[in-house]
Structure 1
Amino acid sequence: MGYAQRKVATTASKLAHVSSSHLKALPPRQSLLSAGRAAPPTVFDAESWAASQPPPQSTLATFAHRVGLGKVVPSPEIIQQACTHPSFVQLHNQQHPDQPLPATNASLATLGNSLLGLFATEFVNSSYPHLPTRVMKAAVSAHVGPTTCANLAREMGAMPILRWHRSPGSSTQSAVLHSDALASVPRALTALVYQYRSLRSARRFAEKFFFSRDIDLRGMMKFRDPKQTLLATVAKFGRERPVSRLLKETGRFSNSPVFVVGIFSGADKLGEGFGSSLKMAEYRAAEDSLLRLYLTRQPPHLVQLPTSTFPDALGNVFEAKGPESPYSPVSLGDSEVLYGSAGRTGVRTPGARSRAAEAAEDDLEDYVL
């Protein structure tokens, strides 16, 4: 066995989706030199040849049953299409120019991306009705964004059966990376569930694989001036002006004091915070008050999604026939307060505060022992 044959056999053994049992000829004819002929004009690339081979049917069937689609899709070829990125066409043309083009997941990934965006938006908006718009967009991206889809594809075990080709970026299109190809697999699988089952089945698929993950929303919320934001928010809800009260303290005259400040609106405590100074404790208390408001979550048994009204029958939303589920829309939460903003930029304008806001801030800085 020559060097080229050993290289092909070694590369094929390293790739999990290339099995010599289902290949027609190993090594391929491209790696062999005929007697009396010179070397071919192009050097045979064993890794590209191995990557262009289709995965075995047993691997595709195992993957389909692993993700719960064994009885959903009619054949393993559908799973192979869902795991074939459009960038693979270029590699296929280089290695097999005389064969027809393979089916890719371009349309499936586009449909699945739209479905996942719909499911995530209604889930986050119904669960957290007071969430600011920017934080809601960040939460949707954290649930079904490209990074999450790529990580989910790795957890599903889609890497051995993924067919793609790395391509550099140009002026008209961006580069295709491994994470981009992996992210298309969960999107395509969501589209398959929608095509072969229903919209509600696709939503249940997304809930099990995407929405079961915990997202840290507190880390996504940052306030430039929590005190001013709290003043405008309390005034918007028609509540009494907030007042800061010193709840506890220790070591005032030492080098490491600790102060605990609470912010009250009438008899209701909005939040509390601690710090090594009164200013720091008040800042954290105002931030805690805003987080308690914006991160108020709707109880799970009261969350109703708009897509639950579609019938749970086979077919898409235009062809499915069956009884529709009742839907009671929840009350819309108030949007976040934009204070001191200039137009649409959202940047505070120096000196844009009114006298009433300054007086309210003075009241907020009065500590009640």
Structure 2
Amino acid sequence: MKRLQLQRWSNSVLSTRARTGSHLQHHLYNAVRRQSSTAAAVQPEFSTGEAEHETFEEIKLKTILRRTHSRPNQLKYPSPPTHAAHESAKLAALHARLYLPSRLPYETLARTLVDASADQDPNFNNESLSTLGHDLLTYYTSEHLICTYPRLPLSVIFASMYAYVGPKTLTAMTREWGVEHASSPGGEVDPGLLQFQRLAPGTELQEKEDGPRPYQSQPHWRKTVTSKIFYDNEFGDTAKTAAEGVSADQASATFVRAVMSAIYLHAGRPAAKRFFQQHFLSRHLNMAELFNFEQPTRDLTRLCARENFERPVAKVIAETGRKSRHPVFVVGIFSGQDKLGEGQGASLSEARERAAVAALKGWYLYSPLNVRLPSAMEEDEAAPWKPVHVDLGEVIV
């Protein structure tokens, strides 16, 4: 039995007009190449012929050429048109990867990927969505931290807020979601790419001018926690901006906030809160590592005096190798008969400091058993509200 020669057999079956598809493919390749390299309109040349004699391959290739030929008209737009959202495989994959609600349309998801630096039109960029998403993220995060840890110092709250919804975290989430950056925004860009105007190399960011700050006029001013509340952002940092363009971290943070807002607007509060719990609160954050006490023994003494506890006393619980090269001391801090903390170190002073730090962390990291958030009252048929525990605050030195 002779082996079939597929190449000859396929050439014999196809008609002469069908074999001209290679020429159409060649024209298609050149048209796409010219379109990606220049912004001029592409004029592909091909003969249409009579419609009744065209094969399926020719009709399909001509349809592709017709779409390619019409795409250069989109170059006049700073961002992709809305109808291109349904043609993007990247956008559909992102929608499925994040398990977004079916009520969230592709057009809105595509809009969340367009930064205001790429498209100045507020009807097509994500600036308004990002503003609402920013408020939602800060509200859900702050109520979780304050209700779960009611005794946290304000500086620790700032640090934990930055760890949960800060720009670095949102940038990492953008990479984890598989979102790629477009090299330059434009109407021909895939709607599934993050589009923003990049900062020029060497551009220095300037502080936002939200009004004069009184402490800056003093010769020896220092930035206090109170000034962070009134003048800085929700992370206690001074907001900075540039005249033209944004950084990749800023564009990524704006995108994640816009996605949160889009879910809230299209799917409602339950879906937005579920998305927040799955993608933000699911991240592990060791709150004990965020503390930095300069004088823990003094702070513990002031705390005991404020709470009407007995004065804290350090006692040696155990020791070994006092006269050796590597001694170890275990010291406990006691207030009356109650042990507040315990620490160990190579010297008595080091063990006492660590014991005081452990006692302060045990106080500040107190958490109620059944924590109920204020946003739970927004649910249907919610139980009557019971006030949460509100502490007096941190020890003011």
* TM-score for the superposition, normalised by structure 2: 0.66
Aligned to 2:253: 183
Q: Is the 8 A contact 2:317 2:331 kept in 1?
A: yes
- The amino acid of 2:147's aligned partner reads S
Distance 1:330 1:214 in 2: 24
More helix by share: 2
Distance 2:307 2:174 in 1: 44
The match for 2:11 is none
1:257 aligns with 2:257: no
Structure-to-structure mapping, 1:34-113, within 5 angstroms:
56-73=87-104, 75-89=105-119, 103-113=124-134
Q: Deviations over 1:163-195 (max 9, x none)?
A: 222134576842511121111122111111211
Describe the SS at the equivalent of 2:331: strand
1:247 to 317, 323, 333: 317
Tell me what 1:211 maps to: 281
CA–CA separation in structure 2 for the residues paired with 1:101 and 1:87:
11
Distance 1:332 1:102, change over 3 A: closer
Question: Structure 1 counterpart of 2:125, which letter?
Answer: T
Relative to 1, partners in 2 of residues 1:120 and 1:281: Cα closer, same or farther, differing over 3 Å?
same
Q: Structure 1: which 5+ residue stretches go unaligned?
A: 12-20, 31-45, 91-99, 313-322, 340-369
> What is the match of residue 134 of structure 1?
155
Separation in 1 of the partners of 2:118 and 2:65? 20
SS of residue paired to 1:244 = strand
Alpha-carbon separation, structure 1, partners of 2:259 and 2:72: 36
CA RMSD of aligned residues (A): 3.3
- The CA deviation at 1:5 is 7.1
Change in 2 beyond 3 A, CA 1:255/1:10: farther
State the SS of the aligned residue for 1:24: helix
Query: Aligned in 2, Cα 1:23/1:335: closer, same or farther, shift over 3 Å?
Result: farther
Q: Distance in 1 between matches of 2:155 and 2:142?
A: 12
| Distance apart, 1:9 and its partner CA | 6.5
Tell me the TM-score normalized by structure 1.
0.70
Letter in 2 for 1:328: K
Structure 1 residue 334, shift from structure 2 partner:
2.7
- 2:147, 2:389 within 8 Å by CA — same for their partners in 1? no
From the CA coordinates, give the structure whose radius of gyration is larger: 2
Q: How does 1:282-293 map to 2 (within 5 A)?
A: 282-293=352-363
1:35 maps to what in 2? none
Among all aligned residue pairs of Structure 1 and Structure 2, give the percentage whose two residues are the same amino acid.
33
Map of 2:343 onto structure 1: 273
Cα pair distance change 1:216/1:26, threshold 3 Å: farther
- Counterpart for residue 347 of structure 1: none
Report the secondary structure of 1:123's partner residue.
Answer: helix
Shift of residue 198, structure 1, vs aligned partner: 2.4
> 1:325-356 CA distances to partner (integer Å, 9 max, x unpaired)?
432121212311012xxxxxxxxxxxxxxxxx
CA 5–194 in structure 1, closer or farther in 2 if over 3 Å, else same? closer
Moved more, 178-187 or 158-167: 158-167
Q: Which of the numbers 199, 210, 217 marks the counterpart of 1:167?
A: 199
Q: 1:101 offset after TM fit, Å?
A: 8.7
Q: Distance in 2 between matches of 1:281 and 1:180?
A: 44
Check the 8 A contact 1:200/1:308 in 2, yes or no. Answer: no
CA distance in 2, matches of 1:111, 1:22: 41
Q: What is the letter of the counterpart of residue 352 of structure 2?
A: E
Secondary structure (helix, strand or coil) at the match of 1:336 reads coil
**Conserved? CA contact 1:158–1:185, under 8 Å:** no
Given that 1:8 and 1:27 are in contact with CA atoms closer than 8 Å, whether structure 2 keeps it comes out as: no
Total equivalences in the alignment:
293
**Do the aligned residues in 2 keep the contact of 1:261 with 1:278 (CA within 8 Å)?**
yes
Q: CA deviation at 1:264?
A: 0.9
- The equivalent residue for 2:168 is 147
> Could you tell me which residue of structure 2 aligns to residue 196 of structure 1?
266
What is the SS of the residue equivalent to 2:146? helix
1:334 corresponds to: 392
The Cα shift of 1:27 comes to 12
Change over 3 Å in CA distance of 1:143–1:236 after alignment to 2: same
Q: Which amino acid aligns with 1:308?
A: A
Instruction: Report if the CA contact (8 A) 1:86-1:104 is conserved.
Output: yes
Render the CA deviation track for 1:140-167: whole Å, top value 9, x for unaligned. Answer: 1211111111111211222252122213
The answer (yes or no) to whether the contact 1:274–1:284 under 8 Å persists in 2 is: yes
The structure-2 alpha-carbon separation of the partners of 1:294 and 1:147, relative to structure 1 and needing over 3 Å to count, comes to same
**Amino acid across the alignment from 1:298:** P
